[in-house]
Amino acid sequence: MALNQINAVILVGGPGQSSLREIAGHPVSLLPIPGAPHFLYAWLEALMKVDAVNKVDVLTGRPEDIRVLMAATAQWDADHLGQTGVYADHEDHRGTAGALKDFSNSLEYTGDLLVIEGNRIPPHNPNLLFHPDYDREDVIGSLGRTSDFGPSGMILMKKRMLDLVPEIGFFDLKEQLIPRALERGERIIVREIGGEGDRLSDADSYRDCVRQMGKRVGGENALGPWISAESTIHPTSLVGKGTLIAGNARIEQNAVTENSVILDGVVIGRDSLIVDSIIKQGSSIPPETKVIRGTVYKDHEALIKNGSSS
């Protein structure tokens, strides 16, 4: 395999609306994590270590997200002298494999593709996908798995794999393209590339990802809290383990947070208690409010969405 010939494509969400996206107010791949501004930033850093990657592009199924994604990648590019492309799939109901085919054709990709689910934790060593067996003629792809045999959110595929995708209609990558390739007699090797690989699907999975990324960062902050330099924390407040304070959040006097995520622009009022919750971006929590697992215990409009909300 020739090095520096692989195009990496990070998929950052389709047109659907999840409860976690509603909490964030933007693509879930831009949610903050310990050790990086967000998941997308962490993926870009991981790909920088993959020798064979020539170009990285971000593909979204929501054209309205282009501006915020470009701002996020511009931050990474400025820090690393990179040049990340951001594109939108404008075809409704095309599916992940269909969107990939249309996208690669529009940019006239000629090399192999490294496809990434941007709403997962990056693996420890994505270079392990590039096994010598991948160069065999009968092998069409290399699928990454985690140490506990779960999906890692990464697949390396030869360009001809997209020839199996119909020109029109919905076609999914995992549910349709991979099975079709196997039915045609192609081989897909499976490689352990490390890491947890958990997928961001709801509030609970996001808090789990925060804890896992915190352990990866290690050191004195392995268990948290992880506090943004831009946030304001009153000296009488208590920010407990497993808590991530993002952006311009403000925690007022005698407030207590534990195992929670406080998103950008949030104000936590005095004497409040926040446990096992995610506070929606820009929310103001009145004084003396208790929020336990996303449930607000006070007579006012609920500003919190838990993982089971639609």
- Please, which residues bridge with residue 244 across strands? 226, 261
Mean pLDDT value of segment 25-46: 93
Whole-angstrom Cα distance, residue 153 to residue 304?
29
pLDDT of residue 4: 52
| Residue 65 exposed, middle or buried by CB count within 10 Å (0-12, 13-18, 19+) | buried
Three-class HEC string of 157-190: ECHHHHHHCCCCCCCCHHHHHHHHHHHCCCEEEE
Q: Which residue has the tokens 């933007």?
A: 26
pLDDT tens digits for range 215-236 = 988 877 799 899 999 999 999 9
Q: Which residue has the tokens 């506070």?
A: 279
pLDDT of residue 49: 86
Mean pLDDT value of segment 139-168: 93
Q: pTM for the complete prediction?
A: 0.89
Q: Which residues of 234-258 are buried (b: 16+ CB within 10 A; e: fewer)?
A: eeebebeebbbbbbebbbbebbbbb
Q: Would you place residue 19 in the very low, low, confident or very high pLDDT band (cuts 50, 70, 90)? A: confident
Q: Which two tokens stand for residue 104?
A: 């690669």
Report CA Rg, the chain. Answer: 21
pLDDT of residue 14: 67
Closest to 242 in 3D by CA, of 280, 204, 269, 285: 204
Q: Which two tokens stand for residue 69?
A: 């994604």
pLDDT tens digits for range 106-132 = 888 888 999 999 999 998 889 999 999
Mean pLDDT value of segment 170-175: 93
The answer for 212, left when phi > 0, alpha when psi is -120 to 50, beta otherwise, is: alpha
What is the DSSP pairing of strand 187-192 with strand 139-145? parallel
Mean pLDDT value of segment 61-80: 92
Residue predicted with more confidence, 2 or 16: 16
Sign of CA dihedral 269, 202, 33, 264: negative
Q: Where exactly are the structural domains of the chain?
A: 6-192, 224-310
Compute φ and ψ for 232, nearest 5 degrees.
-125, 120
Q: Contacts by 245-248 with C-beta closer than 8 Å and gap 24+?
A: 246/32, 247/32
pLDDT of residue 17: 63
| CATH architecture label of 6-192 | Alpha-Beta Complex (3.90)
Statement: residue 253 has pLDDT above 70: yes
pLDDT of residue 137: 93
End-to-end CA distance of the chain: 45
Task: Assign domain 224-310 to a CATH class.
Answer: mainly beta
Residue predicted with more confidence, 296 or 88: 88
Q: Which two tokens stand for residue 273?
A: 């208690």
| Residue 179 exposed, middle or buried by CB count within 10 Å (0-12, 13-18, 19+) | exposed
Do 125 and 154 form a contact (C-beta atoms < 8 A)? no
